[in-house]
């Protein structure tokens, strides 16, 4: 286990534990009533991604669903080439 559940919650709150540094994060992306974001952090020379989910209603504050420690993965940045169809000029 790389992170404890408390460390995962602290990272979402931007209260990074000792030895954990922010590398990159996405904005919250809306998907109907749910929103999700990814946070990339460095710890002990490796980069890890944590995916967070939140939901809301007009009558409540956000409810957050933090990832489980088992859902945190080590990642590396890679350049990806995509072939797709585009309009012909």
Residue 40 has a pLDDT of 97
Residue 59 has a pLDDT of 81
Residue 58 has a pLDDT of 74
On the 0-12 / 13-18 / 19+ scale of CB atoms within 10 A, 50 is buried
Say if residues 21 and 41 touch (Cβ distance below 8 Å): yes
Domain ranges of the chain: 5-75
Mean pLDDT of residues grouped by 10 in the chain (89 residues)?
Answer: 93 96 96 92 96 87 92 94 91
Say if residues 50 and 68 touch (Cβ distance below 8 Å): no
Q: Taking Cα atoms as reference points, which of 15, 24, 14, 5 lies closest to residue 66?
A: 5
Residue 26 has a pLDDT of 96
For residues 21 and 3, give the distance between their C-alpha atoms in angstroms, rounded to a whole number.
13
């Amino acid at each position: 286990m790389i992170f404890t559940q408390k460390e995962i919650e602290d990272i979402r709150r931007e209260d990074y534990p000792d030895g954990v540094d922010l590398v990159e994060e996405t904005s919250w992306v809306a998907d109907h009533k749910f929103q999700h974001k990814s946070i990339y952090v460095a710890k002990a020379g490796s980069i890890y991604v944590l995916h967070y989910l939140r939901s809301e209603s007009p009558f409540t504050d956000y409810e957050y669903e933090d990832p489980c420690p088992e859902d945190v993965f080590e990642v590396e940045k890679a350049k990806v080439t995509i072939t797709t169809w585009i309009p012909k000029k």
